[in-house]
A and B are shown apart, each in its own frame.
Chain A
Amino acid sequence: MTSTHPAVELDGLTKSFGAVTAVDGLSLRVQPGEVVAFLGPNGAGKTTTIDMLLGLSRPDTGTVRVLGGTPDDAVARGRVAAVLQTGGLLKDLTVGETVRMTAYFYRHTRPAAEVLERAGITDIADRVVGRCSGGQQQRLRFALALLPDPDLMVLDEPTTGMDVEGRRDFWQALRRDARRGRTVIFATHYLDEADAYADRIVLVRQGRIVADGTTAEIKNLAAGRTVRATLPGADQAALAALPGVDAVEVRGDSVLVRTGDSDAIARHLLTRTAARDVEITSRNLEDAFLALTTAQTGA
């Protein structure tokens, strides 16, 4: 039965390795049917979070619920399947044998021929895995993940190490498969992948979520412009109340206003306040991504 449980509920997850805190109080709820990108630079804690989500490792603190139950149970029932980054295949089996062998571990699966077809590797079913390219091996992992017809598909940087063509083929295969209702969570550090394939983006940095919203909302973080001016004693609340203002930040004598209407804000600052040194800069998604995900040094 498809239940009304969230697909994923992560609550206050922390995980340390020695002195390094990989995941630091991360909470996330994903509803059934969402396609979520877990976006962040290397070392942000994406893989550690996914390992805990899949039950491959235990959080130091916090809880993980997958489709209303434990990760282990969801895996054992074929309700969740995953494509991990590297390794994990027997080089001396053929592609077809790998799929058929894995299928035997489940109570019930889609036919091997069907998942090979959907992953786009029917033509190399008789090839030994050791002679497959990285991209072909990744599509084989994808085929394995399709076997149980999972409710939740988790992909950890599925296109790492692939060339442009390999990446495109992989995402095309995933897209062909995308059908209503399957929840997909994928980790990536490629902005364009998150943008193109997710309808929700979760930005992570240093084990924490720094932004979470629809792709449009995340893009809005970057859209518009920032108006900076020198204005001692700026009235932050009054500026924030102006139409078109997304955020106001006061740093000493400087004020930064993020807005979709930079002309109006500049006009206001120059005519209604004592602001001087007005600068207007535009931001793009890349800037937003960097600003949100780059470790702050110093204070």
Chain B
Amino acid sequence: MTTATPTRAGAAGPDRRLPALGGFAPGALRIELRRVLRNRRTLAFTLIMPGVFFLIFGLPQGGQSLDNGRPVTAYVMISLAVYAAMVATTSVGGAVATERALGWSRQLRLTPLRPAAYVATKLITAMSLGLLAVVVEFLVGAVAGVRVPAYVWLLSGLAAWLGSLVFAAFGLFIGYLAPAENVMQIIGPVLAVLAMFGGLFVPVEVLPDVLQQVAKFTPVYGMGVLARAPLTGDGVSLAAVANLVVWALLFGVGAARLFRRDTARV
């Protein structure tokens, strides 16, 4: 029977189809990016501080060379670019903790946005900020006189940027581990220690022998080695690649598991 029941909004009624891509939308991503770029704390720690570090710790070493003749300043710049990218991606991933604490995740459950689309937005935002962090650090270096072949800029930059995906996963992992509004205040110092072990502030070789051995198993070590490899010309050791892959898997799987726990209906 097809009796015309009077509908409330006239003949057509609203479009009730499901959104494409689980609600993932470039428009929402744009607002998310703008939001991140408005956050002064994030900008200070990801864009300004690493640049200032370079001016303080890198620039005074101008004129010194690595074994292969490349400038030490480039070594410092690339290391700090890795640091800037990892802080950037961690802070975006870790923002999930804030949003869970505020109840925004719960609010999102009242919309068609699928959790996977939410995480995809976070990852893209994290990687965008990570890319910006690398570019800004390289710009500071270039303006301050760092000169290396184009392939070093490109490959080291790509390695620093892509390696920071590990820390986007780390951020999400922490974000889903504990809902807290001030999560970055806790993670910040942790990241600094990890960066230390990863040879981002001083070469791992200057650490005491025992710490050097420990350092090889910490999560920043692999991406540090990979990012500097185009500059130093050192071969990429299997250990460094394994380090990166294992930590990527650990944080990725950890984040995925916590994410599933979080989105399960109770």
Measured CB to CB, the residues of A under 8 A from B are: 1-2, 4, 54-58, 75-79, 81-82, 84, 86-93, 97, 100-102, 104-108, 141, 144-145, 148-149, 151, 179-182
Contacts and interface: CB of A to CB of B under 8 A. Distances in A.
A277 B164 CA distance: 85
B107 A88 contact: yes
B112 A106 contact: yes
Q: Chain B at the A interface: mostly helix, strand, loop or mixed?
A: loop
Nearest to B107: A88
Given A55-B265, A107-B112, A92 B38 contact: yes
Interface bin, chain B: 35 or more
A233 to B, nearest CB: 54
Nearest to A180: B8
Interface stretch (B24-32, B147-155, B214-222): B24-32
B102 A78 contact: no
A92 B14 CA distance: 31
A75 B22 CA distance: 12
B39 A57 contact: no
27 contacts: A1-B7, A2-B13, A54-B109, A56-B106, A56-B109, A75-B109, A78-B112, A84-B103, A84-B106, A86-B103, A87-B104, A87-B106, A87-B107, A89-B103, A90-B35, A91-B102, A92-B35, A101-B32, A105-B19, A105-B28, A105-B108, A105-B111, A105-B112, A106-B111, A107-B20, A179-B8, A181-B7
A84 B104 CA distance: 11
Contacts of A105: 19, 23, 25, 28, 108, 111-113
Given A75-B110, A82-B110, A88 B8 contact: no
A4 B107 contact: no
Nearest to B113: A105
B168 to A, nearest CB: 19
Given A57-B265, A76-B18, A76-B112, A2 B31 contact: no
A241 to B, nearest CB: 43
Nearest to A151: B8
Given A108-B15, A149-B9, A87 B266 contact: no
A77 B16 contact: yes
Contacts of A57: 265-266
A270 B16 CA distance: 65
Interface string B91-116: 00000000100111011111111000
B44 to A, nearest CB: 15
A124 to B, nearest CB: 18
Nearest to A148: B14
Given A97-B31, A105-B25, A145-B110, 18 more contacts: A4-B5, A57-B266, A75-B111, A76-B19, A78-B112, A84-B107, A84-B110, A87-B104, A88-B103, A90-B102, A90-B104, A105-B19, A105-B111, A107-B20, A108-B17, A141-B107, A149-B9, A180-B8
A41 to B, nearest CB: 24
Contacts of B99: 90
Contacts of B102: 87-91
Nearest to A55: B265
A101 B28 contact: yes
Contacts of A179: 8
A84 B266 CA distance: 18
A88 B104 contact: yes
Contacts of A1: 7, 13
B106 A88 contact: yes
Nearest to A74: B16
Nearest to A150: B14
A78 B111 CA distance: 7
A106 B28 CA distance: 11
A102 B111 contact: yes
B17 A107 contact: yes
A82 B20 CA distance: 22
Nearest to B39: A92
Nearest to A4: B5
Contacts of B28: 101, 104-105
10 nearest CB pairs, A to B: A87-B103, A181-B8, A88-B107, A108-B15, A104-B25, A88-B103, A104-B28, A105-B23, A105-B113, A76-B112
